[in-house]
Structure 1
Amino acid sequence: MDSQLTTCVSGPAAASDASLQAAAGQAGQNRVVRLEQMGLVPYQTAWDYQETLLAATLAIKTQNRLAAEAGQLLAPTPNHLLLCQHPPVYTLGKSGKPEHLLLDEQGLQAHGATFHRINRGGDITYHGPGQLVGYPILDLENFFTDIHRYLRVLEEAVILLLAEYGLRAGRIAGLTGVWLDFEEGAANPRKICALGVKCSRWVTMHGFALNVNTDLSYFGYIVPCGITDKAVTSMRQELGREVSLPEVENRLLPHLATLLGAEYVA
């Protein structure tokens, strides 16, 4: 199984809170997740690290396939969660349109930003300081083999986190991610968290980007996900104050652990 999903793809109806909680109780092979809170790191550095972790996990899965054929014990596969921020960067997925980046090379340099074509699906998005980016490198065979459910779990963790700050967030049918004013017919739907993942043999990479104190002006130089009729927002924009990003990290982690049925190690 090798697939890419992103902020711009449609999915099934959103899972209920109860069904997501129930999914966390299903048995898995190894539900320990190694947590790394990395701070501000260049995008390429984080991407290369993800690829290294992904390759190591896939190598174990290949060895396990041979071991199973020989009737030998299987080695547990690892799970990782990287939390970080990036200097200003635009990333374009495999199905994205280059014209959705509205800056040329000189414009990128003028705004201190870089640009990367990457191996998730979907279109263009922005990462920058003040944005909490999460990269789960999980073997979903340790949890549940359903990539759409996985996306719903990531969304649900963010929705629960935002509720702690008094922000009512949810999903919009046909659009992955977390939104404010998400109800059908709402006057000003705006995205606060984007999702984009790749899954190879049930091992995930890439992840989510939650706008905490993000400089939203950078979104003015792209057509985010190719969507022209909806806005982008941040926790700071909605609350009218700076929000502690370490606090947001630490509040998000328990929700992810509960929904996945996971536990963290450093």
Structure 2
Amino acid sequence: MNKKVALTDLGNKDYKDTWDLQEVLFQDILDTKIKNRREQTSVATNNHFLFVEHPHVYTLGKSGDISNLLISENQLEDIGATFYKINRGGDITYHGPGQIVGYPILDLENFFTDIHKYLRLLEEMVILTLADYDIAAERSKGETGVWLDVGTPFARKICAMGVRASRWVTMHGFALNVNADLGYFDHMIPCGIRGKAVTSLHVELGEEHIDEAEVKKRLLEHFSNLFEASLEPRALSELSALI
């Protein structure tokens, strides 16, 4: 089993370009697995973790309801946002500046073959990271992601999650609001769940700006521990050479 994970921070990158990159990495892992089974070989499969910040964009999961996007195409242009219907699970999600987006593209056969455990560990990674900032976050039963004040009238979501998996290979991932402009969430029904608010770490801490590099560092520490993974930083040029 290969528990090495290539880590690449893409910086600010267009959603569609990043989605295309994910698809290439995802297919590379699938192709290796298929070849191994066909030829009865044991070539190690790659694992990747991408960090990225997207320009304003709304994405709708394959089972999502377009009515949860509350503005028209023209209005999207007015607020400088784009929209994509994509192949992950879940409903509608917003990505934008001030949000840390993580895309683990893993062969779970290198770790464990349990997609529910995978989602719970991603949630735990975020919960532990928020605890580092003295924020008590938790899960909400039946609602993937990370929440604050669950079971109260003040319940609010701070991290959304949505993944795709095939042959135990994952793509898409999580979006943690750190310095996000929460006004963009007013143009949708977050994750298709009515009556629930959304928040951001800087709002919860009452600070103008949170150091996102530090948040990423803490996320990676918890990811590495929870998945017993070894992270290896890779530049985008090195990543391209792998495929």
Deviation at 1:158, TM superposition (A): 0.4
For 1:181 and 1:193, locate their aligned partners in 2 and report how far apart those are by CA, in whole Å.
13
In the alignment, what sits opposite 1:263? 230
In the alignment, what sits opposite 2:103? 135
- Over the matched positions of the two proteins, sequence identity in percent amounts to 57
Runs of 4+ in 1 over 3 A off after TM superposition: none
In the alignment, what sits opposite 2:179? 213
In the alignment, what sits opposite 1:63? 35
Deviation at 1:147, TM superposition (A): 0.2
From 60, 78, 89, the equivalent of 1:92 is: 60
Residue identity in the other structure for 1:123: D
TM normalised by structure 1 equals 0.86
> In the TM superposition, what whole-angstrom CA distance separates every residue of 1:26-68 from its partner, at most 9, and x where no partner exists?
xxx0000000011110000110000000111111001100122
From 103, 110, 119, the equivalent of 2:78 is: 110
For 1:102 and 1:174, locate their aligned partners in 2 and report how far apart those are by CA, in whole Å.
24
For 2:195 and 2:35, locate their aligned partners in 1 and report how far apart those are by CA, in whole Å.
48
Q: Does 1:236 pair with 2:202? A: yes
- Which SS does the other structure have where 1:162 is aligned? helix
In the alignment, what sits opposite 2:159? 193
- Which SS does the other structure have where 1:78 is aligned? coil
In the alignment, what sits opposite 1:23? none
Residue identity in the other structure for 2:80: G
In the alignment, what sits opposite 1:20? none
Deviation at 1:81, TM superposition (A): 0.1
Length, aligned pairs only: 232
> In the TM superposition, what whole-angstrom CA distance separates every residue of 1:196-217 from its partner, at most 9, and x where no partner exists?
0000110000000000000000
Deviation at 1:122, TM superposition (A): 2.0
Residue identity in the other structure for 1:210: L
Q: Does 1:245 pair with 2:221? A: no
Q: Relative contact order: is structure 1 or structure 2 higher (C-alpha 8 Å, sep ≥ 6)?
A: 1
> In the TM superposition, what whole-angstrom CA distance separates every residue of 1:180-203 from its partner, at most 9, and x where no partner exists?
102x3x221100000000001100
For 1:224 and 1:265, locate their aligned partners in 2 and report how far apart those are by CA, in whole Å.
34
What is the 5 A alignment of 1:26-37? 29-37=1-9
Deviation at 1:123, TM superposition (A): 1.0
In the alignment, what sits opposite 2:116? 148
For 2:153 and 2:70, locate their aligned partners in 1 and report how far apart those are by CA, in whole Å.
26
For 1:99 and 1:163, locate their aligned partners in 2 and report how far apart those are by CA, in whole Å.
35
> In the TM superposition, what whole-angstrom CA distance separates every residue of 1:144-195 from its partner, at most 9, and x where no partner exists?
000000000000010000001110000111111000102x3x2211000000
> In the TM superposition, what whole-angstrom CA distance separates every residue of 1:199-240 from its partner, at most 9, and x where no partner exists?
011000000000000000000000111111110000011011
For 2:117 and 2:176, locate their aligned partners in 1 and report how far apart those are by CA, in whole Å.
19
Q: Does 1:39 pair with 2:11? A: yes
In the alignment, what sits opposite 1:11? none
For 1:81 and 1:226, locate their aligned partners in 2 and report how far apart those are by CA, in whole Å.
27
Q: Does 1:120 pair with 2:88? A: yes
For 2:232 and 2:110, locate their aligned partners in 1 and report how far apart those are by CA, in whole Å.
16
Unaligned 5+ runs, structure 2? 234-243
